[in-house]
Structure 1
Amino acid sequence: MSPDVRIARWTGTAYLALALFGVVGFLVIRPRLHSEEDPAATSINLVEQAWLGHLGIAFELLIVIAQAAAALGLYALFRAERPVAAYAVAAFGMTNAVTILGSAAFLILASQVAADPGLAPGNDAAAAVALGFSAADAFWAVGSVFFGLWLMPMGWFMVSTRRMPPVLGWILMAGGIGYVLNALLSAAAPGLPAPLLDMLTIPATIGEFWTIGYLLIRGIRAPRAD
């Protein structure tokens, strides 16, 4: 096995972990705790299911670790042939990680206030807990800009070097644009239907899971002769 293939498979493992941790932490655990319609229910959930709240924070931090590892792995794969793409992927990926760290910090704050209501301003623990979760969600919302941006240089590397399928590269670039548009439209026109906005990220979902599978199974193609 060549060094590039070994790096590719480790990178694919980190990328897969990033996807799995994100699904469990953001799509499974958080909705069981956070009720947007009833702030008091969120605070009660954190008290009655404190273990689930702590588990959610742990998964948030696991997302950060996996994101950073995937960004470094892609940098190592790209830097020899496309140093600008390598730097862009690493920079945008690390920004993703910092964004999720901000989300984790607010989840920790919400958990602490739920456990000790006296920490809340005006002793309104329910409002403070709800605000903590809303701030965490806001970090994810603005972070989707960089979720999209890091896909673009990744796709450009594939198209320009053909070390991974070029069609995959085009899908990733389209998905990156879709993610950025999703973030911008969500902020500028919050009344737009959610299904319409979600459609913009479909190419990204397809491209990322294809990338994960390719890295794990094939790795990366050998460089082409000049």
Structure 2
Amino acid sequence: MNDLQNMAELHAAGAIIKHQSPFASLPSHENGFELPTSILQQWVKPYYMNVGSGNDEWIEPFHRVKSLITYDLTTLLLGDFNWRTRKVGAYFAAVNHYTDLVDVIGTHFLKSELCCVGSMYTLVLASFNNSQSVTYLDKYLHYYLKRPDLHFDQQSAMEASLYLDAINGTNLTSQHFPHWERLRQQWLHSFGLSLQYLEEQLAVIQHLRN
């Protein structure tokens, strides 16, 4: 019964696919305790379905509480083993430009332990636009583009890498295109890459930073 309960809890947290990767041994930032319900109600429930979405009704009210979002709160959210809290924590890191959390976010991204949050990590890495962001995206693409059995966030990683190439005047993504095209064929994807969503969401983050 304990094993079944543990499996149910992991599933609810977003740990859907168990997989081995060369990143499994990387140390993750984890709290090791459950977050108080008050934090979940105040900071996670109102935002986890809204951040990174096309819904903008939450944006102006968010300005009134943004000053209450501290570094400690952000690290607490990122340290919780649940896709909802980590998604919100990553977004808060982007809004407050907590770039020293890039290793926490990048490691979570590489390990891909939880569903529904990887595309948020790519958005945040693109918003940070530093050398670590580029490195984490590059490492992710080098490995996961060669794993068609893992239908994760390869597309959003490619788009974030392309975006950073465009604004930094680099061409690092070109090395990944052969593997990306092969992956698309294996997945039977007909759609291509687009920066529209990424640029729109980065504009929202910039608006919230001001």
Q: Determine if the TM-score, normalized by the shorter chain, exceeds 0.5.
A: no
More helix by share: 1
| Higher-Rg member (1/2) | 1
**TM-score normalised to the size of structure 2?**
0.30
